Structure 1
Amino acid sequence: MATSFSNPFNLTAAGELGNHRESMLYNELLLRNELGRPKNRAYTQVPKDGSFVYGRPNEERFGGADDALHGWPRNLSTTTLPFKSKVKNSERDFMALNRAAVQTGLVTANENYEFRATHDVRRKTAGDEKTRTRTRRIPPSMVFGISTRPSTPIFDLLEHKYQDKWLQDRRKLEVSKRQEESKKRQHLKELRLRRNPNCVYETRASLLRTYQNPVEDAPLWQLPRFKDNAKPSLQTFRSAGARRSAYGNYQSDQIARQGDFGHGVYEPACN
């Protein structure tokens, strides 16, 4: 009896005709159901030699906690350390290149192409600007930490200065309250006088009509024993009349001089 050979591509969408690829036997969209049998999910079997390992592979990382505890390996370069910042690839600054080309006298497209091939200008990244602004120089004499609290003023406590200050504040507060009360009383008194129709008010004209006798200022206080005995030790004028005439001439001379006190130059004559 001859053995029947079944083509595995018969159960695919292409069938026996057309191009056959190995990926068709594992694609769920191209596989078809076999009559009277369950559908093959097209999952590959695990090899029986034991080389297959389930799970995700462990990525080999240099510079981890294990290496830090056991010491950094000598063959580890400084570029793979975890604290090394990554180098950012900055873009070319075409505006600066065009400006430099125009300054050198290159205008055509071919000249600009050759200039860009031989010259290179990169744009500044935002990270470099931030690091430059953040860096600052710390003076060598700077001390870190919290400043020491000043000592308690023992002499002020012994002399009861805080008590005296509190008493002074209380006295000032009482004086201010009394002044406010007196102002309120004066204001109420004025209101009562305004409401009284029989009261006579003084006007400016009535005040100007009343004559006020001139009152001389009180002389400065002196010791009684020096009132009659204390005389000036130097007399620059020959007599009292000479003194009066000198001051009169001085006052009359101030009229023709400039200045608020009449000490300036003479004013010119006005026709």
Structure 2
Amino acid sequence: MPEARSSSQDLMRWKKKPPVRRTVSQICPPPRRPLTVADIRPGMENDRLGVVRDSMFQNPLIVKAELGKPRERSSSLPGIDFNYGLYIRGLDGGVPEAIGHWNVFKQQPTCPHELTRNYIVMNRGAVKAGLVTARENFNYHQLKDIRISDQDDRRLKREPPSLPPNMTFGIRARPSTPFFDLLQHRYQQLWVQEQKATQKAIKLEKKHKVTLGPLYETRSSQLRKYKPPVRLDALWHMPHFQKVGPHLDTFPTEADRQRAFKAHREECAVRQGTLRMGNYTHP
């Protein structure tokens, strides 16, 4: 028996323990409240000598962090009865009221308004009573103040507009295209006929158009088109800028001059280039 108990205890010991479920407050603990004089114990980091006030523990420059604890915050938290989040005043009953009842807004009381005077009835009664002057009518209106009821006033002011019974609201739909006209190419035939009629009308207009004969030039038309010639005088040049003939002629005859110019033109390609050795294109 003792051996059986020890074996069962070993099995239970080696079994994997179930994970411990932690609450939200354990996972995300609420922020710590600021320290007070009553929370200070001997040996703590914030233990001080002399006069100690609660306001001293709300100064982040004075408060020291306790060993193994998060740093204290100087801001004070609201009381226990404070609710975080948005408070909706229309649903005070919570979930049961939201499920079992409709949130219906109460109709606001309408402010009393003054009824419109019925001058037709009052004037008719004044005439029947023999009252004609303005003063008598005013006194009669003050004595017998007849008003139009709400129902009659509403009926007179808000009469529905008179609309025809067969009136269609909105945009009128386009008539449907006949399908047989599409199969028979009716629209193409109509277009061809319209083009032929247009061409025929243009031809008739050209036919009935009066053709004028050739126009002859008259003296007045020629004078109208005539432009007198403008004499372009040579520009005036200063005497010392005029071209002066050569004072020295090195060629004995004109033939020698032309031969020299011809030789110069033939040797022009050889005397060009960077080194004056000619420009040649090699393959």
TM-score by length of 1: 0.29
Q: Which of these two proteins has the greater Rg computed from alpha carbons? A: 2
If asked which structure has higher relative contact order (CA below 8 Å, sep 6+), I would say 2
TM-score by length of 2: 0.28
